[in-house]
Chain A
């Protein structure tokens, strides 16, 4: 099984900050990596697919990069609506989610 390790598990930041979350796979997953946002009581929302492709209609402050085992998700300038939990997900071998990163207001 492929394990996905996200860091940090939680993060405090302010509106306007640049924020980076990392996700490490236990083996090479090529670019088969997606990022989701989830707000309390809501379904997850796909933000980035195939490691670096922004889902249609979403703001360009969200970006992703990486390949192989190491991936990064960045919000270039935090907005109030961005405070949520973020998950990475691999699909190279079945499906595995990272444990999540909770982004809180400082």
Chain B
């Protein structure tokens, strides 16, 4: 079964850090660009960051640039998001998602994880 499972979320104080992980299974992870999308409670979807296969290209949303770092370990079929200098407005469910057609730049996301919740509060 093709699957993405996120972990690493939690409650953190403003200014704190977390490392989010996304474990992939059921497909050849190294062939696909991957993306993080977040959703604040009761709000819509917000694209966060994308990474190409082989990590050659990386994009970030302006709202997280300089604070978040996306990476991948193809040997471990894993995607990561290091989130630093967290703010209250970063509170959200963070989903990882696979690009549908192995495209770059990213295009459509056909496989999504259920997400991991990040809560930033003092």
Contact = CB atoms under 8 A, between A and B. Distances in A.
A47 to B, nearest CB: 10
A46 B45 contact: no
Contact of B44 (A43, A45, A98): A98
Interface stretch (B11-19, B67-75, B107-115): B107-115
Given A43-B114, A46-B100, A49-B100, A94 B108 contact: no
Contact of B46 (A38, A43, A97): A97
Contacts of A89: 45, 108
Interface residues of A, number: 23
Interface in A36-70: 36, 38, 42-46, 49-50, 55
Contacts of A91: 105-108
B102 to A, nearest CB: 13
B50 A95 contact: yes
Contacts of A96: 47
A9 to B, nearest CB: 10
Contacts of B106: 91, 95
Contacts of B44: 87, 97-100
A36 B100 CA distance: 13
B60 to A, nearest CB: 9
Contact of A46 (B61, B62, B109, B113): B109
Given A44-B45, A44-B109, A91-B107, 18 more contacts: A32-B107, A34-B107, A36-B45, A42-B114, A43-B114, A43-B115, A46-B110, A87-B44, A87-B45, A89-B108, A91-B105, A91-B106, A91-B108, A94-B47, A95-B47, A97-B44, A97-B47, A100-B45
- A-B pairs, top 3 by smallest CB distance, nearest first, are A43-B112, A95-B47, A49-B108
